[in-house]
Homo-oligomer: A and B are copies of this chain.
Amino acid sequence: MLGDYLATSVSLVEEELGRSLPTEWDIPIKLRESMNYSLSAGGKRLRPVLVLASAEAARGDERDSKAALRVACAVELIHTYSLIHDDLPAMDNDDFRRGKPTNHRVFGEAMAILSGDALLTHAFQLAASARHYGASPVDVLDIVEDLARLSGAAGMVGGQAADMQGEQGITTLAELEYIHEHKTSDLIVFSVRAGARLGGADAETLAKLTTFGRKIGLAFQIQDDILDLIGDEKKLGKKTNSDTVAGKVTYPYLIGMEESRRLMEKLTEEAKQALYEAKLKRPDRLLQLSDYLMNRDR
């Protein structure tokens, strides 16, 4: 049943992503191709699904909300641009992503930089456009400000910058948490807050969802580190153990496998607790998603 729900949500999101760059916009052909190449490269679409699920949880039904769908695409564009830029030779220098050549391998470095910039910029267009689909201007501006804060210098980009500097030697759990809170959790926090806001949630609910997003994001990252260590190359579509090969510090590396698992389970429980405390009309999908994320094998 969650499987059906996920399939439906992902297909809604992918249809909308396919429409997100207006065909009538005069965009240089190579730039458009490069943007669409990475946008259509698949992935779990976790963040947009969380926007939709959170909107439904706050609203209490599963009605389609075009406003939520636009914001869902906005956060996926941010996530996509961050992968393109992270894969660049000057950053992680990755040749493959999800089994396909990375953007700069296909379109060249300059176009990869530009298509990342264009996707990042277009994310704000999509977020702002929610007002044309029934969302109130004030809610939409709150969402735009949240998106900028959580994806910017003190958010996702900050996490990435700290990660790069940290390659010269992370030694404490606090340092690792800083990185992942921003690199991974911040966009998840954005997703659940934005969805709930569109679903009419109050400030207290948004605060609980911030806690939920932060903790589920960290748990997700620890799970990723664990899967990276034990997962086989084929399932992940990238080289197993790449994070230690590249000299990056992971949770299992820092605190061991067993302790990592325990921390992941603790964070998941705390995340779910925050959900119970939030005044959501239908928290069940978000609860199911939390369990699903912690039991995935990829």
Contacts and interface: CB of A to CB of B under 8 A. Distances in A.
Interface of A: 21, 25-28, 30-32, 35, 81, 85, 88, 90-91, 108-111, 113-114, 116-118, 120-122, 124-125, 128-129, 131, 137-138, 140-141, 144-145, 147-149, 151-154, 157-158, 160-162, 164-165
Given A25-B154, A144-B144, A158-B27, A164 B124 contact: no
A141 B128 CA distance: 6
B30 A151 contact: no
B30 A165 contact: yes
Q: How many copies does the complex hold?
A: 2
Nearest to A159: B28
17 contacts: A25-B153, A25-B154, A26-B158, A28-B161, A28-B165, A31-B153, A111-B164, A114-B157, A118-B161, A122-B152, A125-B148, A128-B145, A128-B148, A131-B141, A137-B141, A140-B141, A144-B144
A149 B120 contact: no
Given A117-B116, A147-B124, A27 B141 contact: no
* Majority DSSP secondary structure for residues of A touching B: helix
A270 B94 CA distance: 50
A91 B26 CA distance: 22
Contacts of A131: 141
A289 to B, nearest CB: 27
A83 to B, nearest CB: 12
A148 B122 contact: yes
Given A117-B116, A128-B148, A141-B140, A158 B28 contact: yes
